[in-house]
Structure 1
């Protein structure tokens, strides 16, 4: 039987287009330029957060849009809010399809930076090794598109159900009044118990409450309205979850930053539960954020990420949801370009 040789097409057997070295180089340059552009946009947004008003506005947005905070890093949450201020539920194209929704034709994606771990290779194509002889692994970032639910429609053509965010935002600095949501304080207590702390109520001196690392106890003052006691408990839970109680000397040295972190976490957790929360330490921000835009960005991204991670961990007890992780991969694209983000 005669055999024949078939010319390889520009598309592989799996249907993926092959790129020439020149096309890959061009793609890499475009991607690098886009990453740099997103970084500039992020810097501009984060510098605004360093003001008391900017951070307060961000906290309100993070509390009201908790689905975004549960799924994305602080830097990507900031990019999402900068590009789509009204965003409430953001996912990739394929994930929306799996959920029975279709991105409307002509919608422009929200660009974020997705982490991707790769193994760098030498000129011979072999994996590079570290000093211990293990393959090197580095994390690079590539821009991907995600879409807000407002950019989608139900794939089956049925009518949209009426929605309600369920989060009534208090005024920053407002006096805490009223009662606490059912089981909220019990769930905060369960969170603290998981961290090795017990909760008690009693005399707290001039403080509304405190966390004692020696006795592994959180104490909340007596005689407060229930809502205020819940807010105090959320604040102290924030401190413990953020590991502020591990080194009290460090806490005293960086008190302004740590109080801002704990109050930010408490505000988000309480607001998601429908509870008014008071934030009074935001005026400290300008003192520790940094002197240059670059330092401010570095500091505020670090603080923002710590706040998001701590809020997620506590919300897993007080308001558990199925989606609490950031997608690690994106739609199929050519290989990532090693550009740090």
Structure 2
């Protein structure tokens, strides 16, 4: 009887502790992780290459606007991976975050795999931190695959309040005629956003343009006599240019006008659509001319453009739609076993595998 009691106590004392991996297990785990990271990279490349067409980019913008919770939480790279694996995703969180929000991932659900950044200090053969030429410890950023889950994979916990969803939201068509009205506070909030960036807003003669941003006078001018929705779209477009820092070097703007106009139009579409304002995107035809000649270059270019659009949209939405969730620190999302919700046993060093960034 006493022996049985000791055995139960020993088993209880080890519950929840990490299992120490042997060198062979660590090597096997590292190879498995490396293969998964390479697979996610291939999936990301295939998804991003599709964005280089006008139709593909327009479809992505619609998803980002309709599911702005995802766009505001994750990097563009991970937004692309989420939609590639779960096209119907509307609200995505890590396993632990869903528990905090009063929801439980249903048993048997497989996670959506994304790539989380992880800053580490490389070590030498003796286990000592490597130093740079100035004698400081080196820090490098690597990426590891982790699991997140869409709200459709969860169920409400007892007593928790059902979250709001985006059901019933109607988005404007890409390229549709800008028409209708705009809430007065939307224009005021865009003006406040530009003011925070050092720009004032005025209405007046804009020549052949609907509006422009003048870096010398730090002024955004919007043409007169437009419908409210069109004026809002123009103001959001110019706010996108300023937020993206396109006005810092006008020679560079002239050289890369196609790309910069696509970025500003994309930001304006997302910001206006989230506010429920009819909008349009008219500069998508430029994409094929500057995206790149090879799949690798297209991926590099479109990820860079997508991340810039994502960050600029977040910054402006902080003014126009302050209820949007803050960006989630992806490095803090806990990786969970997809089948059982059990924290993985491997340590961070064995999980941390470098990929191209």
Taking structure 2 as the reference length, the TM-score comes to 0.90
Closer/same/farther in 2, CA of residues 322 and 207 from structure 1, 3 Å limit: closer
Query: For 1:325 and 1:130, how far apart are their aligned partners in 2?
Result: 31
The answer for the alignment partner of 1:69 in structure 2 is 71
The answer for the alignment partner of 1:195 in structure 2 is 197
Which structure 2 residues correspond to residues 1-341 of structure 1 after superposition, within 5 A? 15-156=17-158, 163-165=165-167, 167-321=169-323, 323-327=325-329, 328-331=331-334, 333=344, 334-335=347-348, 336-341=351-356
Give per-residue Cα distances to partners, 1:107-158, cap 9 Å, x unaligned. 1100000000000000000000001111000001000000000100011177
Shifted more, 270-279 versus 149-158: the winner is 149-158
Shifted more, 321-330 versus 229-238: the winner is 321-330
Q: Provide the aligned C-alpha RMSD in A.
A: 1.8
Query: For 1:166 and 1:275, how far apart are their aligned partners in 2?
Result: 15
Unpaired runs of 5+ in structure 2?
1-9, 335-342
Query: For 1:330 and 1:61, how far apart are their aligned partners in 2?
Result: 23
Please list every run of at least 4 consecutive aligned residues from structure 1 whose deviation after the TM superposition is greater than 6 angstroms: 11-14
> Cα offset for 1:17?
1.3
Query: For 2:37 and 2:140, how far apart are their aligned partners in 1?
Result: 17
Asked whether the 8 Å contact 1:32–1:337 carries over to 2, the reply is no
Give per-residue Cα distances to partners, 1:160-202, cap 9 Å, x unaligned. 5774446421111111111102400000000000000000000
SS at match of 2:222: strand
Unpaired runs of 5+ in structure 1?
1-7
The answer for the alignment partner of 1:4 in structure 2 is none
Give per-residue Cα distances to partners, 1:267-311, cap 9 Å, x unaligned. 000000000111000000000000000000000000000000000
Closer/same/farther in 2, CA of residues 291 and 138 from structure 1, 3 Å limit: same
Query: For 1:100 and 1:159, how far apart are their aligned partners in 2?
Result: 7
Give per-residue Cα distances to partners, 1:34-72, cap 9 Å, x unaligned. 000000000000000000000000000000000000000
Asked whether the 8 Å contact 1:119–1:128 carries over to 2, the reply is yes
Asked whether the 8 Å contact 1:167–1:271 carries over to 2, the reply is no
Query: For 1:205 and 1:72, how far apart are their aligned partners in 2?
Result: 40
Closer/same/farther in 2, CA of residues 143 and 279 from structure 1, 3 Å limit: same
Asked whether the 8 Å contact 2:318–2:324 carries over to 1, the reply is no
Closer/same/farther in 2, CA of residues 142 and 164 from structure 1, 3 Å limit: closer
SS at match of 1:183: helix
Closer/same/farther in 2, CA of residues 340 and 255 from structure 1, 3 Å limit: same
Asked whether the 8 Å contact 1:211–1:217 carries over to 2, the reply is yes
Closer/same/farther in 2, CA of residues 178 and 81 from structure 1, 3 Å limit: same
Query: For 1:137 and 1:159, how far apart are their aligned partners in 2?
Result: 42
Closer/same/farther in 2, CA of residues 337 and 159 from structure 1, 3 Å limit: closer
Would you say how many aligned residue pairs link Structure 1 and Structure 2?
333
Query: For 1:269 and 1:95, how far apart are their aligned partners in 2?
Result: 26
Asked whether the 8 Å contact 2:175–2:280 carries over to 1, the reply is yes
